[in-house]
């Protein structure tokens, strides 16, 4: 039985790198991987996921896909793939997350979701909240604060929301930035 997975971590925890490594591993053994990302993830351009390590892959915009695909086309596309990977899942809404759960339950295909848990105000993103509610498997990708403690939060150091500089920090160090 396939499962809905949620891999979460702070900025810089290598979530996108993990997603791309997972994609590579499946392809190495001859499996077909369908890669999605949220339309609200603009950091790397609309049709790509990219890690800070330089790895990248083409991706389909999940919300566009689910809003334009017919049931017949959906069945054919899912049947042609062995696994689905979704990056930047925190930006998805509840309906989109429920669609991913539908794919798992209807087509028996594993769906691996990667994203942030909380926003810059330490509140859950809508997509992350829904995944925490319904995912079969939840895994934290750990990161380290500058002080050596486990990083739990994301803070903006400078710049605007798109081109800003961010870092991960522990709760104690968070108070330096708020």
C-alpha 113: how far from its chain's center?
A: 5
Rg over CA atoms, the chain = 16
Q: How far is CA 140 from CA 5, 15, 91, in A?
A: 11, 10, 18
| Active-site residue identified among 58, 63, 73, 88 | 88
Contacts (Cβ under 8 Å, ≥6 apart) of 147:
169, 170, 172, 173
- Is 88 one of the annotated active-site residues of the chain? yes
Catalytic residues: 88
């Amino acid at each position: 039985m396939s499962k809905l997975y949620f891999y979460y971590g702070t900025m810089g925890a290598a979530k996108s790198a993990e997603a791309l490594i997972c994609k590579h591993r499946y392809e190495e053994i001859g499996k077909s991987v369908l890669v999605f990302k949220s339309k609200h993830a603009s950091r790397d351009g609309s049709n790509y996921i990219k890690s800070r390590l330089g790895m990248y892959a083409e991706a389909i915009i999940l919300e566009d896909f689910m809003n334009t695909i017919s049931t017949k086309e959906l069945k054919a596309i899912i049947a042609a793939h062995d696994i689905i990977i979704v990056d930047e899942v925190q930006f998805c809404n509840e309906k989109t997350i429920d669609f991913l759960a539908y794919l798992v339950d209807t087509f028996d295909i594993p769906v691996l979701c990667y994203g942030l848990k909380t926003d810059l105000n330490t509140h859950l993103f809508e997509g992350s909240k829904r995944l925490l509610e319904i995912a079969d498997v939840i895994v934290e990708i750990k990161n380290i604060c500058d002080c050596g403690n486990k990083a739990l939060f994301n803070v903006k150091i400078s710049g605007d929301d798109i081109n800003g500089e961010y870092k991960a920090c522990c709760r104690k160090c968070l108070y330096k930035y708020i």
